[in-house]
Amino acid sequence: MAEDRDIVELLLEEHREFRELFEELEAAARDEREELFRYTVARLASHEAAEEAVVHRTVRDDVPSGQAVAEAVLAEEDSAEHLLAEMADMDPTSDEFMESLGRLRDDVVEHAGHEERDEFPLIREHVDAERRREMGRRFQQLRDSGPTRPHPGTPQQPETRAAAGPIVGAFDRARDAARNVFAD
């Protein structure tokens, strides 16, 4: 069951965790990097899908002048999703991968800062505390059932992501389980 947490506080915590994950990834030994990268990709994919469905949709629909802010952060997420998809085919021990990882880290950190600076204050100002807690519950539910890999072909509309997330997530989890079975 999802915790009763304010969406803004929950997302600030997750953003801190992503910053730490990137530090771990960049410092990881070559043989540990692939597994840690797969974990990071799964976390980012499920986080972004849930965020698009819950947070950006609320900002777009319920916050005065929120449409432009929501569209800007969705465009950033689309760019990062394409980079993640490219990186999935790279050798995690290669220089190309490490260069892309640095770009991804910069994009994700900049994106998180953009949300924290432009989106979160709007949510706090225009969305009451009870609704922010409900958004937190919904976010956690969608994140926990969402995709575990990037799907750059999925339209960036929050409604589409909300509907597709759990379905795509189920397929991703089945694919992950099969990969783990056959990797052993």
Burial (Cβ within 10 Å: 0-12, 13-18, ≥19) of residue 136 = buried
* pLDDT digit string, tens, across residues 3-52: 789 999 999 999 999 999 999 999 999 889 988 998 998 899 889 889 98
Q: pTM for the full model?
A: 0.79
* pLDDT digit string, tens, across residues 130-144: 999 999 999 999 999
Alpha-carbon distances of 83 from 28, 34, 68, 90, 91, rounded to whole Å: 20, 16, 23, 11, 14
Task: Categorize the per-residue pLDDT at 169 as very low, low, confident or very high, splitting at 50, 70 and 90.
Answer: very low
